[in-house]
Amino acid sequence: MTSRHAGITFTLKKNITQKHSYIRIKPDGSVVVSTNYFTPQKVIFDFVAKKASWIKNQQEKIAHTPYHDSATKEEAQALILPLVEKWSSIMMLTPTFVGFRKNRTRWGSCSGKNRLNFNTHLANMHPHFVEYVVVHELAHIKHKNHSKAFWAEVGKYLPDYKERQKLAKV
């Protein structure tokens, strides 16, 4: 459901099990507000109004950040496949498939059948961030969620993973 309040147009997603409200700015600058199914509209609008300046600031950053669409599938493969091979061996986790796509919102994914897909735009990113994404997706072969055990697995191999995550925003 699309709403507008305090000069902000946003998509509202309600989830019965969600405890808190969140605002996410998508790569295209659109705004998604996630909240509990029972949160009153006034509370949602107050939340958006309170965060309006932050939202506009984030949208402004996105508008002035050049989006690199120059990475080819071949460049991404040349960079990522050796990392998948290296980390698969170290972590003793083997994907059933490694694919590449041009995505707008995801750096990588791991299916229930241990098929890994990587965003071709990673070829334009910092090498330490790319390595983090590879380890992150391989860890999903063992843990299909973002549980404490999953993050412990990532941290076991990349103790500085939190710093590496920040490189996506540079």
Q: Looking at 1-67, list the stretches that DSSP marks H as alpha helix, in order from N- to C-terminal side.
A: 41-50, 52-63
Quick one: 54 and 78 in the same domain?
no
Do 81 and 156 sit in the same domain of this protein? yes
Same domain, 80 and 57: no
Tokens 């996506």 sit on residue: 168
**CA-CA distance, 10 to 108, in Å (whole number)?**
26
Can you give the CATH number for the domain in which 121 is found?
Answer: 3.30.2010.10
Reported pTM? 0.62
23 within some domain: yes
Of the residues 22, 45, 63, the one at which a domain ends = 63
Per-position pLDDT tens, the chain of length 170: 888 888 999 999 999 888 889 999 887 788 999 999 999 999 999 999 999 999 998 888 777 655 555 678 898 999 999 999 999 999 999 999 999 998 877 899 999 999 999 999 898 889 999 999 999 999 999 999 999 999 999 999 999 999 999 888 64
Same domain, 84 and 158: yes
